[in-house]
Chain A
């Protein structure tokens, strides 16, 4: 077992996922089987292979520095659960 239950707890917490005990057990098992499967790749010798940063062989996709029209304020705030004038309003967050 490569992944212990503590690792699942940790990752779930980072991703703000709230899992039941059964789900945690299930996730632990599934993640381990995925890693076991990936282990197969380790059988290959990749000493002289550059790490792949991207699977598509395209590079240097750039745009010019030109300003384009933004959304209207109303459109931007349309999906907001709450607003205050032109602002999004969220539960108070302040770094402790």
Chain B
């Protein structure tokens, strides 16, 4: 039997406001434990939370960028459960009137554009951090993160494969970074993801029994855990077994999901409106103003690169996948006339080196103007394309200007005819056999002689001139 996979994602993203969502404590990451706390976020009796306007603005902004309807009336609710990372014993969240709903994002999967629905985007507060030390009978609690604003983005069960889930996450992250509401760093916990997955016989429109997966530390883990779970569920059904609705934990080292003994009534959160917080009437003028100030989003930018710069859709997609990369590219082409050439250097050399060194655009020393300058030096014939690659690597590693590198390393291309002829003569004298082969009609032998000249000049000889001179001298 063929099965269809049905996946839905819940993504939590920390908004990068300066202060927490209901109090004035700093949201700064790190810091000594329990030093960003006050009576409000510690849940002391008698205190009143007051909503951070910026957090609401960011939530609206995210909703708009995800093509959602923005609620005109929205409120906060209490989600009640006991856990030591939650000092109030309830989390301030939104239940039935989220800030945004009914949106979508588009992903490119297998050459097709797929629209993935966004059920809702709501604003809530983050919980604290728990540390469980191996072999100790206690857990440690740091409440610095308690009360940092989060948005929860819930997708429709529209995702049909682990690959699509991965594409969805990348697109979502890219959009949120473009609109500058979060840095989306999974390693710092500012982006977290839970997934729901079920399978059903192909063609069926009834959902199968769903499993929730937790403890996903990277987008790669999301994809791997879904691949595993897809396979496991199929095997259970094929063996005549029955799936149970449960939460499973991803074990990264073993590469498997493990059932978490789910507590009964775990999902009975007894939501009710938070009487401490006043409802929000989201003024249409405000929403329009936020909409008008949305920056260009990745899809629009990609389209512009194709139209304006004539880049292939794939290249445009890669360059616009992250805002930082795209900004680097734009800065570079503002200093250089050929967008295609810049795109090639960025996509091949620069991204190659970034991959090799495990660096993000934000971390590299190379500046966009330096790449533009190097391309100009190349155009002038000062350095060859081959040498440029060497210069580029050096710029990437040291952040030095291309002129400086060329001068320091003596990389200026040799385009002096007399000098090249002298070197050519030497090569001809040293390689009589190849010379003879060439004269006997073996075209390949010329390539060998060109290579010898490049070796002799450590790659600095002007390649076109070398070809011409050798041909001329070999008559």
**Of B52, B132, B143, B275, the contact of A54 (CB 8 Å cutoff):** B275
Task: Report the separation of the CA atoms of residues A58 and B53 in the bound assembly, to the nearest whole angstrom.
Answer: 16
Closest to B140 in A: A87
Contact A14 B270 (CB under 8 A): yes
B33 within 8 A of A: yes
**Of A14, A58, A72, A91, the contact of B137 (CB 8 Å cutoff):** A91
Q: How near does chain B come to A80, taking the closest CB pair, in angstroms? A: 9
Closest to A93 in B: B139
Q: How near does chain A come to B20, taking the closest CB pair, in angstroms? A: 9
* Residues on B with beta carbons closer than 8 Å to the beta carbon of A96: 260-261
A34 within 8 A of B: no
Closest to B97 in A: A53
Q: How near does chain B come to A52, taking the closest CB pair, in angstroms? A: 9
Closest to B41 in A: A70
* Residues on B with beta carbons closer than 8 Å to the beta carbon of A86: 32-35, 142
Contact A60 B281 (CB under 8 A): yes
Interface of chain A residues 46 through 96 with chain B (CB within 8 A): 53-56, 58-73, 76-77, 82, 84-96
A16 within 8 A of B: yes
A13 within 8 A of B: yes
* Residues on B with beta carbons closer than 8 Å to the beta carbon of A65: 17-19, 52-55
Contact A67 B26 (CB under 8 A): yes
B346 within 8 A of A: no
A10 within 8 A of B: yes
* Residues on A with beta carbons closer than 8 Å to the beta carbon of B275: 54-55
Contact B137 A95 (CB under 8 A): no
Given A63-B50, A70-B38, A93:B84 Cβ within 8 A: yes
Task: Report the separation of the CA atoms of residues A59 and B278 in the bound assembly, to the nearest whole angstrom.
Answer: 5
Contact A61 B270 (CB under 8 A): no
**Number of chain A residues whose Cβ lies closer than 8 Å to a Cβ of chain B:** 40
Task: Report the separation of the CA atoms of residues A92 and B132 in the bound assembly, to the nearest whole angstrom.
Answer: 7
Q: How near does chain A come to B188, taking the closest CB pair, in angstroms? A: 19
Q: How near does chain B come to A68, taking the closest CB pair, in angstroms? A: 3
* Residues on B with beta carbons closer than 8 Å to the beta carbon of A13: 265
Contact A94 B137 (CB under 8 A): no
Contact B18 A90 (CB under 8 A): no
B109 within 8 A of A: no
Task: Report the separation of the CA atoms of residues A95 and B37 in the bound assembly, to the nearest whole angstrom.
Answer: 25
Task: Report the separation of the CA atoms of residues A64 and B21 in the bound assembly, to the nearest whole angstrom.
Answer: 10
* Residues on B with beta carbons closer than 8 Å to the beta carbon of A77: 34
The 8 A CB mask of B56-78 against A (1 = contact, 0 = none) is: 10000000000000000101000
B295 within 8 A of A: no
B255 within 8 A of A: no
* Residues on A with beta carbons closer than 8 Å to the beta carbon of B137: 91-92
* Residues on B with beta carbons closer than 8 Å to the beta carbon of A56: 278
Task: Report the separation of the CA atoms of residues A65 and B136 in the bound assembly, to the nearest whole angstrom.
Answer: 39
* Residues on A with beta carbons closer than 8 Å to the beta carbon of B33: 85-87
Given A86-B33, A94-B139, A71:B131 Cβ within 8 A: no
Task: Report the separation of the CA atoms of residues A85 and B142 in the bound assembly, to the nearest whole angstrom.
Answer: 11
Closest to A94 in B: B132
B217 within 8 A of A: no
Task: Report the separation of the CA atoms of residues A94 and B281 in the bound assembly, to the nearest whole angstrom.
Answer: 40
Contact A66 B19 (CB under 8 A): yes
The 8 A CB mask of A16-39 against B (1 = contact, 0 = none) is: 100000000000000000000000
Task: Report the separation of the CA atoms of residues A69 and B249 in the bound assembly, to the nearest whole angstrom.
Answer: 38
B290 within 8 A of A: no
Task: Report the separation of the CA atoms of residues A25 and B411 in the bound assembly, to the nearest whole angstrom.
Answer: 92
Interface of chain B residues 114 through 164 with chain A (CB within 8 A): 130-132, 136-143
* Residues on A with beta carbons closer than 8 Å to the beta carbon of B139: 89-94
4 new A-B contacts, CB < 8 A, other than A55-B275, A88-B141, are: A62-B50, A62-B56, A76-B42, A91-B137
A-B contact pairs, 23 of them (CB 8 A): A14-B80, A53-B75, A54-B275, A54-B279, A59-B280, A60-B278, A62-B50, A62-B51, A62-B53, A63-B50, A64-B53, A64-B54, A65-B52, A65-B54, A68-B25, A71-B37, A71-B38, A82-B138, A86-B32, A86-B35, A88-B34, A89-B139, A95-B214
- Which residues of B pack against A, CB within 8 Å? 17-19, 23-26, 32-39, 42, 50-56, 73, 75, 80, 82-84, 97, 130-132, 136-143, 214, 249, 260-261, 265, 268, 270, 273, 275, 277-281
3 shortest interchain CB distances as A-B pairs = A68-B24, A65-B54, A87-B140
